[in-house]
Amino acid sequence: MASYILVHGGNISAETWNRLTGRQDYPEGTLIGARCWDGTVAALEAHGHRAFAPDLADEHTHTLTDHIGQVCAVIKQAEPDEVILVGHSYGGMVITGAAGRMPGRIRRLVYVDAALPNPGESLFDQFVRSGIDPRSVPGLEPAAAYTEKIRFDPEKIRALPKTYIRCTESGFSRVTSGAKRKVMARKEEWTYIELPTSHVPMATMPERFYRLMLAAAE
């Protein structure tokens, strides 16, 4: 048995989710937050694992540091287990910061088409580094959480097992191509996987995605 903590990225609209799945899972006009993990949580629990999917506090009034603190509090709830930290999109910033604070509690880090920051970078910085004006990206605003620069010691997480799942049909492929280069430069530290799907594989390729999540505990 493993304990998973699943960290969502920017709040996905119900309209986007329903369009990707071809179903009307959520009422339009709402944001789904951590509910994007509902199917993943069910799949993990069906195999005997524990799964936590916290709703991150509003990114406009809370910072990256606040979100990292939220996840660290959930890690403490998972005691005595080591945890598998999973971050989607912006959630990659959060799991990196949480692992830097509590590396001894982490069994594996899993990045799902996610930000893979260097110390001193914000989410916005990673778009700029990829040649993209972040203000041109629909749904990406200069919110407090997205402009704060992360502080962590990479040596504290270097030895942790890590997985990067890159979605090749993602609208953020220019950003994640930079993450791929970082992973390939340290291949001995990583398991690297590509999925031929959108930025939200838990919506568009759920069964295969769930199998990858289960494999993270092996």
Catalytic residue numbers, as ranges: 89
The residue to which tokens 């990406």 are assigned: 140
Helix (H/G/I), strand (E/B), else coil: 155: helix
Sign of the CA dihedral 36, 69, 90, 103?
negative
Euclidean distance between CA atoms 57 and 67, whole angstroms: 7
What backbone phi and psi angles, to 5 degrees, belong to 112? -110, 100
Decide if 109 contacts 85 (C-beta within 8 A). yes
Euclidean distance between CA atoms 47 and 20, whole angstroms: 26
Cβ atoms within 10 Å of 173's Cβ, excluding its own = 15
Decide if 34 contacts 53 (C-beta within 8 A). yes
Cα angle: 122, vertex 176, 211; to 5 degrees: 115
Euclidean distance between CA atoms 76 and 131, whole angstroms: 38
